[in-house]
Amino acid sequence: MSGSIVINGGTPLQGTIGVLGAKNAALKHMVASLLAPGLHTIENVPGILDVAIMGQVLEHVGASCVTDGTTLQIDVPETPNPEAPLELVRQMRASILVLGALLARTGEARVALPGGDDFGARPIDFHLRGLEQMGVEFDLRHGVLHAAAPNGLTGTDIFFEFPSVGATENILLAAVLAKGTTTIGNAAREPELTDLAEYLMKMGAKIDGAGTSTIEVHGVERLGPATHRTVPDRLEAGTYLVAGAMSRGEVTVTDCRPEHLRMELKKLEEAGCDVAITEHTVTVRGPDIPMATDIATLPYPGFHTDMHPQMVAFLSVAGGTSLVTENIYSGRFRYLGELNRMGADIHADGQHVVIRGVENLSGCEIDGCDIRAAAALTIAALRADGVTTINDAQHVDRGYDGFVPKLASLGADIRRT
Ligand code: EPU
C-alpha cells in the first residue's frame, strides 16, 4: 500500500497499545531458518512489508512461508537454491544476511549488493572481510556477489573495527555450521542479535557470549528446526511513546522489554517526560513544553540511531537548543528539510544536528523519506497546527504493523489515503 498519511494535529494521545516482535529480529530469524531443513515456527512476527519481501527471498531459495496472524511457518528444503534475486535484495539491506546462511548450508551463494534506506554510504566490507577469513572467495560480477567456500567454512578470530549489527549476524550465521571455533570480537550487542543467537541455540547451535562484545561460536555438523518467539520491537515501542509525549498526552506500551529502551527513556526523562515502567510495560506522559537535551547515537546500549529522527521531531518544540550527534550513519538528515517546512528550526553541521526549539509547528505537505523519518514526521504532525500530509507513506509499512490504526486507537486524528 502506498499513498499518504493525513494528520490533523492537536489531539493529545491517551491510552494503551501493544507492540509486536522486532522487525530487525524477525527478518534475521527468517534467514536463520535456512540453516536447518524442516519446519520452523517463528512467533510474534509483525505484518510489515520487509517481512513480506524477506518471505519472497526465502521462497526464491526454495523455502515455503505460511503466515497465520503473527505466526510464520517456514519449511526449509534439504538443499536450498544458493541464489538471492537482485530485484528483492535491492529493496532491503537485511537480505545480505542470506550470504552467511547460504554459504554455511551449500558452500556457495550468489547475492546482489543490497539496497535499503538512504543514510549515506552503507558498505558491507566487514561482512566480506570476516567471511574471507573463514575461507570464502568473492567475485563481484554485474552487481552480483558470487561467493564460494571451496574447502568449507573454517572458524577463526574475527575482530570488527565497528560493532556492525549486520556483519556480526552474517558471521554468526556462517559460523554455527563452520569447522571449529569462531571468535567475533567487538561484536554488536543489540537485543535483536541476542534474540537471533537464542533462536540458533534452540536449533542446536553452540554460542557463548551473545549480548557481550565477544561471541564464541563452536561449529556443529547439523542444525534442526525450532520454534521461537521474536523479542518485542523496542523501536515500535519507542516511537509510540515519543508520539504520546509530543502530543502532550500519556501513552502506555505493553508487551515490551523496558530494559531494552533504557537510554531512550533516560533522554525522555531529561526532556521533561514522566516515565513509569513495569516488567513488560512503559508509560510516558509528555510535558507541555519539552526541555532541550543533547543526544549522541551509539551502538547498543547507547541511544539507538533508529530513534534519532523521532527525538529530533520531539525536541523541535523544546524550550531551548538541543544537539543530536549521529554517530552510526553519515547521512541520516534528509527528513530535516521536511521538519523545517513545518516550521522547525534545525540544521545539520557534519554529523551534528542543532535544534532550536520553536513554539509551534504547522501542518503542510511533506515526503516520508524512510521508515523512521516517516514516523518522526508523523510525530511532528500530531502536534502541528492544522493538517499535515505525508507522501510516500509506504515507508512506514516497511517497519510498523498497523501504524495508522494504532495511532488512531490512541485518539489521533489520522487516516491513510
Ligand atoms: N558498516 C560498514 N561496513 C560494514 C557494515 C557496516 O562500514 O560492513 C557501517 C554502516 O555503513 C553504518 C554502521 O557501520 O554506518 C552501522 O551499520 P550496521 O551494520 O550496524 O547496521 P545494519 O546491520 O546495516 C541494522 C538495522 C538498522 C539499524 C542499524 C544500527 C536491520 C535490518 N537494520 O542495520 O535498522 O539502523 O542496524 O542499529 O537490522 C531500521 O530498522 O530502520 C534500520 C535502518
Mean pLDDT (whole number) for 328-332: 86
The pLDDT of residue 121: 63
What residue has cell string 543490497? 114
Mean pLDDT (whole number) for 269-296: 98
What residue has cell string 509499512? 397
What residue has cell string 552467511? 100
The pLDDT of residue 118: 57
DSSP secondary structure, 138-184, as one string: EEEETTEEEEE-TT--B--EEE-SS--HHHHHHHHHHHTTSBSEEEE
> Which residue among 19, 20, 24, 95 has the greatest number of ligand 1 atoms within 8 angstroms of its CB, and so is best to mutate?
24
Where does the pLDDT of residue 141 fall: very low under 50, low under 70, confident under 90, or very high at 90 and above? Answer: confident
CA distance 97 to 346: 36
* Residue 225 confidence (pLDDT) above 70: yes
CA distance 231 to 260: 10
Per DSSP, 230 falls in state: P
Where does the pLDDT of residue 2 fall: very low under 50, low under 70, confident under 90, or very high at 90 and above? Answer: confident
Which CATH class name applies to 23-229? alpha beta
CB 79 within 8 A of CB 106: yes
The pLDDT of residue 8: 98
CB 239 within 8 A of CB 400: yes
Average pLDDT taken over every residue of the chain: 95
CA distances from 213 to 97, 183, 188, 209, 299 (A): 20, 10, 6, 8, 11
Ramachandran area for residue 150 (φ above 0: left; ψ -120 to 50: alpha; else beta): alpha
The pLDDT of residue 88: 85
Share of the chain above pLDDT 70, in %: 98
Mean pLDDT (whole number) for 73-99: 89
The pLDDT of residue 296: 98
> Which residue among 96, 97, 145, 165 has the greatest number of ligand 1 atoms within 8 angstroms of its CB, and so is best to mutate?
165
Q: Whole-structure pTM over 0.95, yes or no?
A: yes
Please indicate whether the domains covering 5-19+232-416 and 23-229 agree at the CATH topology level.
Answer: yes
Any idea which of 104-118, 241-255, 258-272 has the lowest mean pLDDT? 104-118
Per CATH, domain 5-19+232-416 is 3.30.1360.170: no
> By C-alpha distance, which of 228, 253, 211, 205 is closest to 72?
228
CB 93 within 8 A of CB 51: no
Mean pLDDT (whole number) for 366-379: 94
The pLDDT of residue 114: 74
The pLDDT of residue 87: 83
The pLDDT of residue 403: 97
What three-state secondary structure class fits 318? coil
Share of the chain above pLDDT 90, in %: 89
Strands ordered across the beta sheet of 295-296: 295-296, 321-325, 352-356, 345-349
- What is the residue with the minimal CA distance to atom 15 of ligand 1? 329
> By C-alpha distance, which of 331, 335, 325 is closest to 372?
335
The pLDDT of residue 92: 84
Which amino acids bring their CB within 6 angstroms of ligand 1?
A: 23-24, 27, 93-94, 117, 122-127, 162, 164-167, 305-306, 328-329, 371-372, 399
CB 104 within 8 A of CB 135: no
> By C-alpha distance, which of 205, 127, 158, 174 is closest to 31?
174
Domain boundary assignment for the chain: 5-19+232-416, 23-229
Q: In sequence order, what are the residues at sequence separation of 6 or more whose Cβ sits closer than 8 angstroms to the Cβ of residue 248?
A: 12, 286, 287, 288, 383
* Residue 119 confidence (pLDDT) above 80: no
Mean pLDDT (whole number) for 396-416: 97
